[in-house]
Amino acid sequence: MSNIASLESELLTAVSSAKDEVALEAVRVAALGKSGSVSALLKTLGAMTPDERKVQGPAINGLKDKVGAAIAARKDELAASALDSRLASETVDVTLPVREAPAESGRVHPISQVIDELTAIFADMGFAVAEGPDIETDDYNFTKLNFPEGHPAREMHDTFYFNPKPDGSRLLLRTHTSPVQVRTMLSQKPPIRVICPGRTYRSDSDQTHTPMFHQVEGLVIDKGSHLGHLKWILQEFCKAFFEVDNVNMRFRPSFFPFTEPSLEVDIQCKRGKDEIRFGEGEDWLEILGCGMVHPNVLKNCGLDPDEYQGFAWGMGIDRIAMLKYGMHDLRAFFEADQRWLDHYGFRPLDFPTLAGGLSS
Ligand code: 2NL
């Protein structure tokens, strides 16, 4: 066998037995590299006679091309089998459950959920949301709301007071959200349609009362606002919030210093062992207080009671949240127990909307 023929069979065997791309590259360098065996043969052409070169030239170049082609083919083969083994080992199990993204694993507290729900309902009726500070003045929390100085009605609210200032005035934690409406009347011109959800504070603590709780109040001021409007708004609210087609409501006379007349509102319900249903039954459940804004309050807030009249209502958020979502112990709301929140909390990206469903 000639030199060339034996080198060829040696190189082709080395190429076909190269196990990976690194081994194949070593074969290439040993054959076609600068000091490779094929390159060495090519260099011998220069010293040959023209007749020898005519024969050896095509033979050596043929060897170079053949080995080059074999290396390229083996390279493709190795790349394909490397891909095959990756495809075989790196599988994705598409039947595994989707892992929750961190942004979705948190939960919305039921109070926040209920505030979002009632905001959606009242926004649909044209109400804006107003907010104010938790720390208030005696003037905004009581005096402007027609609680006269030294009047027993002030004692009805177990107020948390701060230490008096040198001038004798005392700040306090607001006992209701009404000061937000006072601020709204003082800073905006009628017509006014606002709801004021937020934290309120009273020094009271037992099974059904926590020192901090949540209220939502509503206020409408215009030239012709009357109790008929108020009844319609409350009825629509109750139907939407409790997600029933019909509610029966009962309006009973009551007293609040800031409204005249004042009314308390019950909705008809059926109490079961572990649930309460609205729109049926013979029981009554008190859910809110309301009335026509007292002329003194309008005056105190810069409005002429001969030109404007309005109505307002107030409702406990914690209680309606418990009613709607079947939570029995008010205190669990504020214990920040992760297990309670995992159970009763809401998914963060499910925003309540009237069209999409409030509690879905
Ligand atoms: C209740 C009763 C009520 C209001 C709140 C109000 C606010 C202004 C003027 C007049 Cl600025 N009224 N708010 C009116 C009636 C009742 O709350 O039982 N809340 C839990």
> Closest ligand 1 atom, CA of 294?
10
Nearest protein Cα to ligand 1, atom 7? 178
**pLDDT score of 353:** 82
Assess whether the C-beta atom of 200 lies below 6 angstroms from ligand 1: no
Assess whether the C-beta atom of 194 lies below 6 angstroms from ligand 1: no
What own/partner pairs with CB < 8 Å and gap ≥ 24 does 298-303 have? 298/185, 298/221, 300/143, 300/144, 300/145, 300/146, 300/182, 301/144, 301/182, 301/185, 301/186, 302/185, 302/186, 303/185, 303/190, 303/221
**pLDDT score of 275:** 78
User: Which stretches within 188-316 are classed as H helix?
Assistant: 227-242, 295-300
- The two most distant CA atoms of the chain are separated, in Å, by 130
Task: Give the mutation target among 217, 287, 296, 299 for probing the ligand 1 site: most ligand atoms within 8 A of CB.
Answer: 217
> With b meaning 16 or more CB within 10 Å and e meaning fewer, what string describes 20-57?
eeeebeebbeebbeeebebeebbeeeeeeeeeeeeebe
Nearest protein Cα to ligand 1, atom 6? 312
**Are the C-beta atoms of residues 134 and 141 closer than 8 Å to each other?**
no
- Residue 90, token pair as written in the block: 């790196």
**pLDDT score of 133:** 98
Task: Give the mutation target among 145, 263, 303, 313 for probing the ligand 1 site: most ligand atoms within 8 A of CB.
Answer: 313
Phi then psi for residue 166, to 5 deg, are -50, -35
Beta strands in the chain (DSSP E): 128-129, 135-137, 171-173, 192-201, 212-222, 249-256, 259-271, 276-278, 283-293, 309-316
Assess whether the C-beta atom of 181 lies below 6 angstroms from ligand 1: yes
Cα–Cα distance measured from residue 277 to residue 269, given in angstroms and rounded to the nearest whole number: 5
Nearest protein Cα to ligand 1, atom 5? 314
**Are the C-beta atoms of residues 27 and 11 closer than 8 Å to each other?**
yes
Q: Under DSSP, is residue 78 helix (H, G, I), strand (E, B) or coil?
A: helix
Nearest protein Cα to ligand 1, atom 17? 314
**pLDDT score of 153:** 66
Residue with tokens 């000061």: 179
**pLDDT score of 258:** 96
**pLDDT score of 227:** 96
Nearest protein Cα to ligand 1, atom 20? 315
Residue 311 Cα to ligand 1 midpoint, Å, equals: 9
Assess whether the C-beta atom of 344 lies below 6 angstroms from ligand 1: no
Residue 25 Cα to ligand 1 midpoint, Å, equals: 86
Consecutive H or E run containing 353: none
**pLDDT score of 102:** 75
- Residue 206, token pair as written in the block: 């037992």
Assess whether the C-beta atom of 316 lies below 6 angstroms from ligand 1: yes
Task: Give the mutation target among 140, 196, 215, 258 for probing the ligand 1 site: most ligand atoms within 8 A of CB.
Answer: 258
Nearest protein Cα to ligand 1, atom 4? 313
For 109, counting Cβ atoms within 10 Å of its Cβ (0-12 exposed, 13-18 middle, 19+ buried), the class is: middle
Residue with tokens 């043969």: 41
The angle at the Cα of 154, spanning 151 to 156, to the nearest 5 degrees, equals 120
The closest alpha carbon to 255, from 152, 171, 174, 140, belongs to: 152
Question: In Å, what is the CA distance from 188 to each residue of 58, 119, 137, 184?
Answer: 100, 20, 20, 6
Note down pLDDT in tens along the chain; length 360 residues: 577 888 899 999 999 999 999 999 999 999 999 999 999 888 998 888 989 989 888 999 999 999 999 999 999 999 999 999 998 888 888 898 888 777 778 899 999 999 999 999 999 999 999 999 999 999 999 999 999 888 776 776 789 999 999 998 889 999 999 999 999 999 999 999 999 999 999 988 887 889 999 999 999 999 999 999 999 999 999 999 999 999 999 999 999 999 999 999 999 988 887 778 888 888 999 999 999 999 999 999 999 999 999 999 999 999 999 988 988 888 899 988 989 999 999 988 778 888 777 876
Cα–Cα distance measured from residue 110 to residue 112, given in angstroms and rounded to the nearest whole number: 5
**pLDDT score of 224:** 94
- Phi-psi category of residue 303: left, alpha or beta, with phi > 0 → left and psi -120 to 50 → alpha: beta
Assess whether the C-beta atom of 256 lies below 6 angstroms from ligand 1: yes
**pLDDT score of 1:** 52
Assess whether the C-beta atom of 178 lies below 6 angstroms from ligand 1: yes
Residue 196 Cα to ligand 1 midpoint, Å, equals: 11
Give the type of residue at 162.
Answer: F
